[in-house]
Amino acid sequence: MNIYLKLFSSFCKIGVLTFGGGMSMLPMLRRETEFKRGWVKEDELLDWFAVSQCTPGIIAVNVSTFIGRHVAGWKGALAAAFGMVFPSFAVIVAIAAFITSFSHLAWVQSAFAGIRACVCVLVLNAAVGLVKRAVVDPYTLALYALVFAGSAFLDLSPVLLVILAVAAGIFLKILKERGRKA
Decide: residue 113, CB within 10 A, 0-12 exposed, 13-18 middle, 19+ buried. Answer: exposed
pLDDT digits (tens, 9 = 90+) for 35-86: 899 898 888 888 888 888 878 878 888 999 999 999 999 999 999 999 999 9
- Averaged pLDDT of the chain: 86
pLDDT digits (tens, 9 = 90+) for 82-109: 999 998 889 888 888 887 788 788 888 8
Task: Spell out the alpha helix ranges (H) of the chain.
Answer: 3-17, 22-29, 42-54, 59-102, 106-134, 138-152, 158-181
pLDDT digits (tens, 9 = 90+) for 20-32: 666 777 788 888 8
The pLDDT of residue 21: 65
pLDDT digits (tens, 9 = 90+) for 104-143: 888 888 988 898 898 888 888 888 888 888 888 888 899 9
Residues in contact with 107: Cβ distance below 8 Å, sequence separation at least 6, in sequence order: none
The pLDDT of residue 57: 78
The pLDDT of residue 22: 65
CA 166 to chain centre: 18
